[in-house]
């Protein structure tokens, strides 16, 4: 083998110069060294390089025959507007080849607010379906047999009333609880790191997780009690090592929580599932799924399971939403195809492919069809399903799988040395790691070190106009309020109050099973908001601290002239005005995705701006007041959940009412170009779509602030 390798090097040197050959060795963002060629020698010191599918440690897949026997499940994460409209959409998708349902709830539901609550006026029905009660859930699944259909629900904060409403809706459809199959996400630890749709403090949240695991282990043998999610970590900026390590570490924390309830590991572990993102690093994503199965099997060994399924990592995957671009958007069809292939070659059990227009709006009917057909074509035209783990035994893939697992083990050990993942999250360490990765990645893109086709290279002169979907938020909210009023009139208020009091008392006493009590309350037509509030009466709503990392973005621009020029302009501003330009970064509504807001804050800070970051979930009134008190020149609003047409105009109205019309408002995020003129007419100074370099934003905002000062 060594002789053959030397012969290859001789041939390679005839084709390219030595310095070019040396440049073919490179380091991934995870710090893993990649060579241009791998041989059997690279596997000589590794363990588990000659394994079989379905056998420990399951690197090649949790089932022996994988897709040869049964293809992965095609899912479409969908839900928007009302339960009626989502139901029609689901039925149509099922007719077109979708095999399982994945429900997207709106942000009001995620955060445990009823649609009539004052804090969710811009969120109802926007980024998912509005669910306030059992009646909504019954409509959502009308005509869909829940004893035959696997249903996945992405829900964490309001997981108790939502899962309870699903159970009761099934009962009233004639389906017993033990017949239900599917998954509830129920992964609250990652919410405190990245997605932020938590409601309660960590201790109460972990109790809820444990109660759901215990209830489903006893009553729902076909249902996955938790989907341990790395997806949102990746979307928030984590590299593959940290996504993998933190996800496995979260899983271990949930296992320990269930064991502390007196459950045997084999009572619940076979129904634990995972959820990973699939990005554009093709080989790394394949290796990530293989390494995840290896790590989980290794980690579960300490609990001495007797059932092999307790050690098998089964996962759902979703192609990356963050990798989608507003610029030259049809490229997104290709990106999603590449990512989908990585997911299935890595051995996922189910898959959702994102629609090509999700960088700018909710998926249209056409884009949803193309996304779904991507999977159908892979299953039925590409012959991918005819071979089990085609990458098994690959010198490169086996080496990369083990390298990734090795790096992830080091991070997992760090978390364990801190006292486990829950303790590490309390200290804010995982969140800071992810934010650092995100800032580094953005700097590589903005500086041109990483290529994004259509964004920083190969740009088109004229962008294609594409069809987008828009939800009439006010119409949906009005309909939901009418339904809530009807439910409250028809139910027994005394019975509902008694059921809600029982939940509150159970939280106080740390007794009983909260899911069981929530089911009883939802049968009586309690609402999602009422059950959520019954718990919050004891522990309150959790408020996270906002920290700003500094210096990370700037490191990506060492020696960059444009970066230095902007910094100098900020210094010049200070010399003229006696202070730095000051901005307030705001997240309004119930959207907790703060990657964009944090990156903008970090980038502006590194360029010399004074930056204040507001807390999550603010109302326009709160943002206006805090910005005025902070004496800022401008407010930057990060919008990812389609609430910009409601919340941003309201913010400008509030500023005017406070006599602060001199404060500029700029907006960034997922905003269709068709909405730009509307926002400008309402008084927005500038709009920055997805993929806009932070230094470009900073240059434009500084220019606007300077111009405002001259008026």
Report the C-alpha gap between 627 and 124 in whole angstroms.
26
Is-contact 252 299, C-beta < 8 A?
yes
Among this protein's residues, is 77 annotated catalytic? Answer: yes
Q: What is the DSSP string of 510-571?
A: T-S-HHHHHHHHHHTT--HHHHHHHHHHHH----PPP----SHHHHTTTT-HHHHHHHHHHH
| Measured distance CA(217)–CA(660) in Å, rounded | 56
* Annotated catalytic residue, options 187, 591, 594, 606: 591
Neighbours of 582 (CB within 10 A): 17
Q: Please, which residues have CB within 8 angstroms of residue 290's CB and are 6 or more apart in sequence? A: 59, 60, 346, 347, 391, 397, 401
Phi, psi (5° rounding) for residue 449? Answer: -70, -35
b/e 405-440 (16+ beta carbons within 10 angstroms → b):
bebbbebbeebeebeebbebbeeebbbebbbbbbbb
Neighbours of 475 (CB within 10 A): 13
| Cis amide prior to 464 (ω within 30 degrees) | no
Catalytic residue among 126, 138, 431, 593: 593
User: Do the Cβ atoms of 259 and 304 come closer than 8 Å?
Assistant: no
The answer to whether 232 is a known catalytic residue is yes
Catalytic residue among 232, 242, 316, 402: 232
402 part of the active site: no
* Beta bridge partners of residue 318, listed in sequence order: 277, 352
Q: Which of 231, 234, 283, 553 is catalytic?
A: 231
Question: How many whole angstroms separate alpha carbon 457 and alpha carbon 434?
Answer: 26
- Dist CA 171 CA 208 (whole Å): 22
State the number of CA atoms in the 13 A half-sphere of 598 facing the CB.
30
Beta-bridged to residue 686, according to DSSP, are 666
Q: What separation in angstroms does the CA of 533 have from each of 169, 269, 329, 664? A: 22, 31, 42, 36
Sheet holding 182-184, edge to edge: 223-224, 182-184, 151-153, 100-103, 73-78, 350-352, 315-319, 272-278, 226-229
Phi, psi for residue 169 in degrees, rounded to 5: -60, -40
Three state DSSP letters for 252-313: HHHHHHHHHCCCCHHHHHHHEEEEEEECCCHHHHHHHHHHHHHHHHHHHHHHCCCCHHHHCC
Residues 503 and 514: their CA atoms lie apart, in Å, by: 7
Do 117 and 480 contact (CB within 8 A), yes or no?
no
**Please, which residues bridge with residue 278 across strands?**
319
DSSP secondary structure string for all residues of 588-646: BTT----HHHHHHHHHHHHTT-EEEEPPSSB-HHHHHHHHHHTT-SEEEEEE-SS-HHH
* Structural element, H or E, at residue 34: strand 33-34
Residue 457 and residue 469: Cα distance in Å, rounded?
Answer: 28
Catalytic annotation, pick one of 587, 598, 644, 645: 587
CA neighbours within 13 Å on the CB side: how many for 145?
4
Question: Is 676 marked active-site?
Answer: no
Candidate list 58, 77, 200, 283, residue with the active-site label = 77
Q: Which residues are catalytic?
A: 77, 231-232, 587, 591, 593
């Amino acid at each position: 083998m060594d002789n053959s390798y030397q012969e290859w090097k001789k041939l390679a040197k005839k084709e390219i110069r030595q310095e070019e050959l040396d440049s073919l060795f490179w380091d991934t963002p995870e710090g893993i060294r990649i060579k241009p060629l791998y041989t059997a020698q690279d596997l000589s010191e590794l363990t588990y390089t000659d394994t079989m599918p379905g056998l420990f440690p399951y690197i090649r897949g949790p089932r022996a025959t994988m897709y040869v026997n049964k293809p992965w499940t095609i899912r479409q994460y969908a839900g928007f507007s009302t339960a009626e409209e989502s139901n029609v959409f689901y039925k149509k998708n099922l007719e077109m080849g979708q095999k399982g349902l994945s429900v997207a709830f709106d942000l009001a539901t995620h955060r445990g607010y009823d649609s009539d609550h004052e804090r969710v006026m811009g969120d109802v029905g926007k980024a998912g379906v509005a669910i306030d009660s059992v009646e909504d859930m019954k409509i959502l699944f009308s005509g869909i047999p829940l004893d035959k259909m696997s249903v996945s629900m992405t829900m964490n904060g309001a997981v108790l009333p939502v899962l309870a409403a699903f159970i009761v809706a099934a009962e009233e459809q004639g389906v017993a609880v033990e017949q239900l199959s599917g998954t509830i996400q129920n992964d609250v630890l990652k919410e405190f790191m990245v997605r932020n749709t938590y409601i309660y403090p960590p201790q109460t949240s972990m109790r809820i997780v444990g109660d759901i695991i215990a209830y489903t282990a006893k009553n729902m043998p076909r249902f996955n009690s938790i989907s341990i999610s790395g997806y949102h970590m990746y979307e928030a900026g984590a590299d593959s090592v940290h996504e993998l390590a933190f996800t496995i570490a979260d899983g271990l924390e949930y296992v320990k929580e269930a064991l502390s309830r007196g459950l045997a590991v084999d009572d619940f572990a076979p129904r634990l599932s995972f959820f990973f993102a699939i990005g554009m690093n093709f080989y790394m994503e394949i290796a990530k799924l293989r390494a995840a199965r290896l790590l989980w099997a290794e980690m579960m060994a300490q609990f001495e399971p007797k059932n092999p399924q307790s050690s098998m990592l089964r996962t759902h995957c979703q192609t990356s939403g963050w990798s989608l671009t507003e610029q030259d958007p049809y490229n997104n069809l290709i990106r999603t195809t590449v990512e989908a292939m990585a997911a299935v070659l890595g051995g996922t059990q189910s898959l959702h492919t994102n629609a090509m227009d999700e960088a700018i709006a909710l998926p249209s009917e056409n884009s949803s069809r193309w996304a779904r057909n991507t999977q159908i074509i892979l299953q039925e035209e590409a012959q991918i399903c005819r071979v089990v783990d085609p990458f098994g035994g690959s010198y490169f893939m086996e080496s990369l799988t083990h390298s990734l697992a090795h790096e992830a083990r080091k991070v997992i050990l760090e978390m364990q040395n801190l006292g486990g993942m829950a303790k590490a999250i309390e200290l804010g360490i995982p969140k800071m790691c992810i934010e650092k990765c995100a800032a580094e990645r953005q700097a590589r893109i903005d500086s041109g070190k990483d290529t994004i086709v259509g964004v920083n290279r190969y740009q088109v002169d004229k962008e294609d106009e594409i069809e987008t979907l828009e939800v009439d938020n006010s119409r949906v909210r009005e309909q939901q309020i009418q339904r809530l009023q009807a439910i409250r009139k028809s139910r027994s208020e005394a019975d509902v109050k008694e059921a809600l009091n029982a939940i509150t008392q159970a939280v106080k006493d740390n007794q009983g099973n909260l899911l069981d009590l929530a089911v009883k309350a939802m049968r009586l037509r309690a609402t999602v908001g009422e059950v959520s509030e019954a718990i919050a009466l004891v522990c309150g709503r959790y408020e996270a601290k906002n920290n700003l990392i500094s210096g990370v973005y700037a490191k990506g621009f060492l020696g960059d002239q444009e970066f230095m020029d902007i910094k100098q302009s900020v210094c010049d501003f200070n010399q003229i005005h006696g202070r730095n330009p000051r901005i307030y970064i705001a997240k309004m509504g119930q959207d907790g995705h703060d990657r964009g807001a944090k990156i903008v804050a970090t980038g502006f800070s590194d360029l010399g701006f004074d930056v204040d970051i507001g807390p999550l979930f603010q109302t326009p009134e709160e943002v206006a007041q805090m910005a005025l008190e902070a004496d800022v020149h401008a407010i930057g609003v990060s919008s990812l959940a389609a609430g910009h047409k409601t919340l941003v105009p309201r913010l400008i109205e509030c500023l005017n009412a406070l006599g602060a019309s001199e404060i500029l408002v700029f907006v960034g995020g997922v905003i269709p170009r068709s909405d730009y003129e509307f926002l400008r007419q309402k008084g927005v100074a500038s709009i920055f779509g997805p993929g806009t370099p932070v230094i470009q934003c900073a240059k434009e905002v500084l220019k606007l602030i300077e111009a405002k000062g001259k008026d």
